[in-house]
Structure 1
Amino acid sequence: MYPLIPLGPTLNIPTYYLVISLTICICLYWSTRRAFAYDLSKKLTLDLGLLIMVTGFIGGRLFHVLYEDIAYYRESMWRIFEFWNGGFVFYGGALLAGLCGYLFLRKKDSHRLPTYLDMLAPLLCFSYAAGRLACLLAGCCFGKYCELPWAISGRHPTQAYAALWELGVLFILLGIEKGVRESGQPKIFKKSGSLFYLWMILHSLGRFIVESLRDDFRGPEFGISVSSWISAVIFIYGWYLLLAKPRQN
């Protein structure tokens, strides 16, 4: 693992935050390119991206504090703001950013909200995969002990599993997107928002599988981890949205 990149005797850069920072820059640039392809407002897309970035950071941090280690932060509330020590939960960030992004688009461009979702879907795949690679370098989100040839330090490299799964989902979405433009895909994928709904299904399925191999502290469990329950709900809701008939204006 490479949690730190040394720049000098007393100066280091956290690998996790370096990867996340680069990912954000790439996604902001890529979002403007995709906005152009979807004939969406570049300014609104950048505003949405910045909103997702900020609320995702806050949501990910709060979910970690409240769900994973509340006793530790009760000892000193100032520890909540020591984010450089790590402690973020993807679903916490995704849920808060998703809610805020939805409300923002409902106010600014409600008629094209499903189109914005399709535009964002591949970005979510890429950013999640990059985030899991950052976790692999940092040594967090590790898996259970195993003796497989590709084990890292005797454990399942669950971070790599998640990253590879999400990259696979990314290629599937981009392939379907290209097929829809060439009118060669099933009618179901021509509905606005369907690309995002498919991402919900595939992402949550992969997350549910990988969760079963995780061995880091997952917070209080109710048969399965909270993240697994959230994945199950997203999986079912994604199918509902994908198969539901489009609303008539």
Structure 2
Amino acid sequence: MTLASIVWDVDPVIFEVFGRGIRWYGLLFALGLLILGPLIEDRMWKREKLKPEWINSLFIYVVVGTVVGARLGHVLFYDPAYYLANPTKIFAVWEGGLASHGGTIGIIIAVWFYSRRVTKRSMLWTLDRLAVPTGLAAALIRLGNLMNSEIFGRPTELPWGFVFPRASEFAGFAERGLSIPACHPTQIYEALAYLVVFAWCMYLYWVRDAARRYSGLILGWFLTGVFGFRFFVESIKNVQESWEVDMVLNYGINMGQLLSIPFVIAGVFLIVYSLRHPLQPEPITKK
């Protein structure tokens, strides 16, 4: 432990209701997904004079797609053997285990159904608008990880290193007289990066009118920014599963980096393609 390190000993549980702990992670997750995200989308819908029933349906599709996709992403990408042996544990979301890559895939699949059944418009039309507040929701989720003392980086001697005495990785250290090392607070790194992506997407939508001028531009920047930074920060982050150690030794990347590559490629493609094929935006009629 360095003298300048920050000891992060925050209780992840805010309070209990009927014996069930209400955690900061769940609160921050809900704040982004169920409150702030929909509020921003509602403002966008009103700006473009879109059908109110469209946004009501979108909310349901996105919530289901996010939760189911994030859970199945963790199950399939990180610990399939355990869940095949214990299938009932797949539904135990309260025990932890949500993967952002799976959540993104879940949203994309949900938007495919939504576009076919509700708006009858292209997926990119919806995803461009949906990407605008998603960076904010992603930042709040990473702050939830911070409150849980999870998904942090490797040891560091930098002055802003965090000591996580509640982390499961360091269970029993104090009893054995071992010093807990200060680690990179990668949750904060990611949260700050996602807030920058959120600000950029807001600028593209509100100032540049990019959602109506280009098809896929906002989504492209979102994917490139979020997963490009995710690829970088994974290089200093502890692996989530023990088998990833061999993956890093053999291939030089972990599962989080591997899963980020297709999203970055797709994001760059969308940016280039959309800029080369601009749309003729329909004017927003004023009442």
What is the TM-score normalised by the length of structure 2? 0.76
Q: Does 1:51 align with 2:61?
A: yes
Letter of the structure 2 residue corresponding to residue 171 of structure 1: A
CA pair 155-106 structure 1, distance change in 2 beyond 3 A: same
1:204-224 CA-partner distances (Å, limit 9, x unpaired): 211111111110425643531
Query: Identity percentage over the alignment?
Result: 26
1:30-41 equivalences in 2 (<5 Å):
30-41=40-51
CA pair 195-248 structure 1, distance change in 2 beyond 3 A: closer
State whether residues 169 and 199 of structure 1, in contact with CA within 8 Å, keep that contact through their aligned partners in structure 2: yes
Residue 224 of structure 2 is aligned with which of 201, 213, 220?
A: 201
Shift of 1:7: 4.4
* 1:180 match: secondary structure: coil
Q: Does 1:13 align with 2:36?
A: no
Residue 183 of structure 2 is aligned with which of 155, 158, 162?
A: 155
> d(CA) in 2 for partners of 1:112 and 1:239?
19
Residue 174 of structure 1 is aligned with which of 182, 202, 211?
A: 202
**1:243 aligns to what?**
272
> d(CA) in 1 for partners of 2:122 and 2:81?
43
State whether residues 190 and 230 of structure 2, in contact with CA within 8 Å, keep that contact through their aligned partners in structure 1: yes
State whether residues 239 and 254 of structure 2, in contact with CA within 8 Å, keep that contact through their aligned partners in structure 1: no
Shift of 1:146: 0.7
1:18-33 equivalences in 2 (<5 Å):
18-23=27-32, 24-33=34-43
> d(CA) in 2 for partners of 1:232 and 1:189?
28
State whether residues 215 and 278 of structure 2, in contact with CA within 8 Å, keep that contact through their aligned partners in structure 1: no
* Greater radius of gyration (CA): 2
Shift of 1:16: 1.0
CA pair 64-120 structure 1, distance change in 2 beyond 3 A: same
* 2:162 match: secondary structure: coil
CA pair 41-193 structure 1, distance change in 2 beyond 3 A: farther
CA pair 225-110 structure 1, distance change in 2 beyond 3 A: farther
Q: Does 1:215 align with 2:238?
A: yes
Q: Which stretch shows the higher mean deviation, 55-64 or 214-223?
A: 214-223
CA pair 84-248 structure 1, distance change in 2 beyond 3 A: closer
Shift of 1:155: 0.7
CA pair 8-61 structure 1, distance change in 2 beyond 3 A: closer
State whether residues 124 and 215 of structure 2, in contact with CA within 8 Å, keep that contact through their aligned partners in structure 1: yes
> d(CA) in 2 for partners of 1:116 and 1:38?
13
1:76-127 CA-partner distances (Å, limit 9, x unpaired): 3222222111111011111022122123213432435433222212211111
CA pair 11-105 structure 1, distance change in 2 beyond 3 A: closer
Structure 2 unaligned spans of 5+:
1-9, 164-181, 281-287
CA pair 31-147 structure 1, distance change in 2 beyond 3 A: same
Shift of 1:241: 1.6
> d(CA) in 1 for partners of 2:101 and 2:145?
15
State whether residues 144 and 156 of structure 1, in contact with CA within 8 Å, keep that contact through their aligned partners in structure 2: yes
* 1:111 match: secondary structure: coil
State whether residues 214 and 279 of structure 2, in contact with CA within 8 Å, keep that contact through their aligned partners in structure 1: no
RMSD: 2.6
Letter of the structure 1 residue corresponding to residue 259 of structure 2: I
1:13-162 equivalences in 2 (<5 Å):
13-23=22-32, 24-111=34-121, 113-153=123-163, 154-162=182-190
Structure 1 unaligned spans of 5+:
none
> d(CA) in 2 for partners of 1:86 and 1:126?
21
Q: Which stretch shows the higher mean deviation, 43-52 or 212-221?
A: 212-221
CA pair 151-9 structure 1, distance change in 2 beyond 3 A: farther
CA pair 76-240 structure 1, distance change in 2 beyond 3 A: closer
> d(CA) in 2 for partners of 1:74 and 1:113?
33
